[in-house]
Amino acid sequence: MVLPYTWLKLNHSSTSGQYSVIGGIETQLWQLASEYYNFSIEWIIEPNSHFGAQYENGSWSGLIAAIMNNEIDLAVGGLMPTTKRLEVVDFLFPYDHDQYTFANQPLPETGSHMDLLIRPFHYKVFICILFTVILFWLFNWIEKKLQQQQYSETNNHHNLLWINFCLLVRQPYHWMSSTGSAIRIALIIWAFSSIILVNFYLYTLCSMLALPLIDKIDTINKFIDACNTGYLIPMAISNTSVEEFFLNSQVDTVRNLWSSHLMLLPNYSLPFTLLLSSSNRPYYALIAARKNLLFLQSVKGKDKIYLPPYTEKSSLFPSLLATPVQKGFHYKRPFERFVSRLITTGIMTHWEMLDSIKLRFYLKRGKGGKFQTFFDNTSMSQQDDEENVDDNNEHRIDDINFIDFTIQHLQSIFYLYLSMIIISSLTFISEIFNHFLMFGNFIYDIS
């Protein structure tokens, strides 16, 4: 089982032990081809889970060897045409394309958040604000000295710094009408500036809180640097196109990663165990096809598996997926026409989306545990036996919960909104009461 390309189920009702197709792009493709061209298919599971690699003596293993030895006619499983493979077998028209990337455990956030309140502004902005405060302090000191000389008998001084602070936090200053013309001009300039500063600061801070900037390993260069420093331990499957890519690479950093850090494993069982482990450092990363890793992520969740965004910088190398056949295969040309026509219809994408829905359905029913090693064909018999087990709590996945969204989930938002309205209303009433109280005292002083 190599999702999203193959998805077979052992048919226990059949005495011959035949497999039936549940999903998978390539398995459904050839099932449809068998119906169109009227031929039968016998699915044979490769026991060693090897796609096909060349040994030092020149012989081959896995599915490629089975084709060369005339044991099978076609090989499915998302195989990639490589230079060495094309020397011994033929490939049909590519039915899909992908990129090889990496997946790792979600790494803990590094750094401190103590500077979150000062991050919205550049340090030059804070220097300008400090310089403005100093200018207002000097202006306030000069205005105070002039007022003491001209109106020594009265004490009607306004603290300009306090007024600026009130305007900055959007609070009213009730004695604004008694200020002088010079102060009013300065305050008007500051009021417009404070509106821009406060709005920019609040919007930027809210954006940072809603979408925090996390320093993730999202490019191949960052990935290689993390592996060279020992922060990540890269893993890959032996006897695959990944191994051939590293062997033939002319990039020094890639060759150094291959010779010094890369851990080659026979199948996906141990990499998945290490990748999903919750232990501390060192952290592990798996190099594989993106679509395979996406299905693993859909099983375990984004909180367990991190995939970099689909960009050119996050791609180790691109890949084409095709079906290998024997050299001189008699039906190569009609099969290639059939594959190319299916691609133009877009049915491949439709099958892939349906497989994703089926996978979520199995997870919701509590049978998601059997997908933990869907790359590992050696566990196929064990996985097929689990199909006959009734749905119960023993097969539930503890780390994935399906919760139906209802109107009850909006109660907390409604109560928060209601409490804010009540607080705002009480504040408004207190401001009105305070205003009338001050106005009454002013009338009393006049009388």
CATH number, position 86: 3.40.190.10
288 close to 245: Cβ distance less than 8 angstroms? no
Q: What is the tally of structural domains in the chain?
A: 4
> What's the CA gap between 104 and 102, in Å, rounded?
7
| Domain edge (last residue) among 288, 319, 350 | 319
CB atoms within 10 A of CB 164: 22
- Whether 406 is covered by a domain: the verdict is no
> What's the CA gap between 202 and 283, in Å, rounded?
37
- Whether 403 is covered by a domain: the verdict is no
Give the angle subtended at the CA of 65 by the CAs of 61 and 66, to the nearest 5°. 125
- Whether 138 is covered by a domain: the verdict is yes
179 close to 187: Cβ distance less than 8 angstroms? yes
Tell me: do 311 and 220 sit in the same domain.
Answer: yes
- Whether 158 is covered by a domain: the verdict is yes
62 close to 50: Cβ distance less than 8 angstroms? yes
Tell me: do 125 and 191 sit in the same domain.
Answer: yes
- Whether 196 is covered by a domain: the verdict is yes
- Whether 404 is covered by a domain: the verdict is no
Tell me: do 249 and 366 sit in the same domain.
Answer: no
Phi and psi torsions of 192, nearest 5°: -65, -40
What is the sign, positive or negative, of the torsion defined by CA atoms of 399, 404, 405, 409? negative
3-class DSSP state of 301: coil
395 close to 367: Cβ distance less than 8 angstroms? yes
Q: Is 167 exposed, middle or buried (0-12, 13-18, 19+ CB in 10 A)?
A: buried
Beta bridge partners of 321: 96
- pLDDT value of position 9: 82
Tell me: do 199 and 222 sit in the same domain.
Answer: no
Q: How far is CA 164 from each of CA 121, 159, 427, rounded to the nearest angstrom?
A: 19, 9, 22
216 close to 105: Cβ distance less than 8 angstroms? no
How many DSSP H helices and E strands does the chain contain? Answer: 15, 9
96 close to 321: Cβ distance less than 8 angstroms? yes
Tell me: do 311 and 331 sit in the same domain.
Answer: no
| Domain edge (last residue) among 261, 293, 319 | 319
The radius of gyration of the chain's CA atoms, rounded to the nearest angstrom, is 34
Beta bridge partners of 319: 98
Tell me: do 119 and 70 sit in the same domain.
Answer: no
What is the sign, positive or negative, of the torsion defined by CA atoms of 106, 110, 114, 116? negative
- pLDDT value of position 412: 63
- Whether 209 is covered by a domain: the verdict is yes
- Whether 311 is covered by a domain: the verdict is yes
In order along its 447 residues, the chain shows pLDDT tens digits of: 577 888 888 776 654 457 888 888 999 999 999 999 999 998 888 776 677 777 888 888 888 999 999 999 999 988 889 888 899 999 999 999 899 999 988 877 655 556 677 878 888 888 988 888 888 888 878 877 776 666 554 445 677 778 888 888 777 777 777 677 777 787 888 888 888 888 888 888 887 777 666 667 889 999 999 888 888 899 998 877 788 788 888 888 888 888 888 998 887 778 888 887 766 667 899 999 998 888 888 777 788 888 998 988 999 889 899 999 999 899 999 999 999 999 998 888 888 888 888 877 776 665 544 444 443 433 333 333 334 433 433 333 334 444 555 555 566 667 777 888 888 888 888 878 777 776 666 565 555
Tell me: do 198 and 222 sit in the same domain.
Answer: no
- Enter the tokens of residue 397: 């996945």
Phi and psi torsions of 185, nearest 5°: -65, -45
**Would you give the distance in Å from CA 402 to the centre of its chain?**
19
- pLDDT value of position 109: 62
- pLDDT value of position 110: 56
DSSP structure string for 212-271: -------SHHHHHHHHHTTSEEEEEESSSHHHHHHHH---HHHHHHHHHT-EEESSSHHH
Amino acid at 286: L
Tell me: do 119 and 266 sit in the same domain.
Answer: no
- pLDDT value of position 444: 58
Tell me: do 52 and 86 sit in the same domain.
Answer: yes
Tell me: do 167 and 196 sit in the same domain.
Answer: yes
Containing structural domain, residue 201: 112-214
| Domain edge (last residue) among 285, 319, 353 | 319
> What's the CA gap between 24 and 30, in Å, rounded?
10
Tell me: do 29 and 12 sit in the same domain.
Answer: yes
- Enter the tokens of residue 130: 């400090």
3-class DSSP state of 6: strand
Tell me: do 442 and 307 sit in the same domain.
Answer: no
Helices 220-228 and 252-260, axial angle in degrees (round to 10): 40
